[in-house]
Structure 1
Amino acid sequence: MKTPNAQEAEGQQTRAAAGRATGSANMTKKKVSQKKQRGRPSSQPRRNIVGCRISHGWKEGDEPITQWKGTVLDQVDERVLSLKILSDRVASSHISDANLANTIIGKAVEHMFEGEHGSKDEWRGMVLAQAPIMKAWFYITYEKDPVLYMYQLLDDYKEGDLRIMPESSESPPTEREPGGVVDGLIGKHVEYTKEDGSKRIGMVIHQVEAKPSVYFIKFDDDFHIYVYDLVKKS
């Protein structure tokens, strides 16, 4: 398996569609906003396309439209253009070891990727949750790059490319400060100050069930979903 950055360069990204739940179309890094309906109400029931393979155009600001193929996991981003259903609903993947899935969720892990010239590159991160519909896939974030990724982690675990770290060494996706869990943040707008002093405005869109102090944030100026550990300052 190649590093997340290498996969991004090859156009294998997965953009996550974010609403109040963790969304996405299955392409490798991710993020979202709910699509608004326009036009007159129709008496025809709207087809549920969750789980379907699709192709669509993607419009980001003033950049040219790019073409993508993927699988709908949740809501569809408003920047998706000319969406086409490619096939019938994708059958859910069956996990042979459900206990293993429960074991890795919420755990700090070391994930091995193939670097340049066959070298091994180890990324530390945290398994956040199991993806909807595609049960063999899991959401994960890394210390090196705290955005939302999606991988078939059970296969990697069985092949020895994913290792659960001892609990004594467990660390959250971002550096924590002493304090308690912050509740009631879903749907709240937040301001993030970067190292250079510039500010970003975003919205808290999801709380990780396995790690209640960890939240997903969608910033207005970026299509990725970021993962932060939010705690009250003591």
Structure 2
Amino acid sequence: MFSSVELEGAEFLGAGANRYCVISPNDDNVCLKIDIPIAQRQCKNWRQAIKRHLSKEIIQFNENYIEWMAYKKLTNRFSQVELDQFIAGCFDLHKTPDGQLILACQLIRNADHSIALSLDHHLKNGTVFDLVQINQAVDELSEWLVRHSIPLFDLNSGNLVVQYNKKSIRLMCIDIKSTYKGKEIIPISYWSKKIMQKKIRRRSERLKKTIQLRMNKVL
């Protein structure tokens, strides 16, 4: 368990709509995903407001809990070695005295030990990738998901980090909630392997188009 002083002094990595991330005070290879207090979250619509209220009252709606369960489900299907190829590991789920959930995850680093930054960060800050190389990285990830029937549909630039390994790059997923709980009212994509695979490939192609469009704006 971490004290509030330790968490406040931890190195900040970034924030999403419901969580913020810091480097663990105990291990610089661990990222802590921490609930943003309900009162500080911005809601875009009534559905989001309801979901965020429920996440406080019912643990099954909490993002850290969902991601923890998603990873536990994957570890029941695959070896750690297999998952480590493309997915950041989840190590533990803690609860603070004030009820916040903290998810301890693998902090992805590059070969030189620098922190692997999100694809979104690279595109926002003008990184120009070799289009063949980045498309190959997208394809490697999506084909791995298809081969293992892993319903990771949330293939967006904010959920993926670019890991530099000497002369190659790899996309690592740092948010796997969608493998456990999706947005479909009737989750057909989770039931049918063919529909799942088609959806993953569509999302993959959409991501490649997004990368090219955002790079073209820089160029």
> Which structure has the highest helix share of the two?
2
Higher fraction of strand = 1
TM range (shorter): under 0.3
TM-score of the superposition, structure 1-length normalised? 0.23
